[in-house]
Amino acid sequence: MAKPAKVNIVFVLDASVVIKWFSEEEYTDRALKLRDDFFKGDIELVVPDLILYEV
């Protein structure tokens, strides 16, 4: 039996989500889950070109 195709889930992040990776504030747990899911290969993350200047 063939494996079902993996659905690519893409999230576009703004600076507020990335900042939560480094500071404890409201919804930090959700931001860290996005990061962890990205490292596991479960989702894709996209950020604006200017993210480094915003953070």
Residue 9: its H or E element: none
Residues 6+ apart with CB under 8 A from 55: 15, 18, 19
Instruction: Please report the pLDDT score of residue 3 as a whole number.
Output: 61
Does residue 2 sit within a domain?
A: no
Query: What's the structural domain count of the chain?
Result: 1
In this predicted structure, what is the pLDDT of residue 31? 97
Domain-embedded: residue 4: no
Provide the residue range defining the domain that includes 27.
10-54
Residue 31 lies in a domain: yes
Residue 46's beta-bridge partner residues?
12
What are the residues facing 44 on neighbouring strands? Answer: 10
pTM for the model: 0.80
Structure confidence at residue 11 (pLDDT): 96
**Domain contains 5:** no
Residue 26 in domain: yes
- Stretches where the chain sits below pLDDT 50 are none
Which amino acid, one-letter code, is at 53? Y
Rounded Cα gap, residues 19 and 30, in angstroms: 12
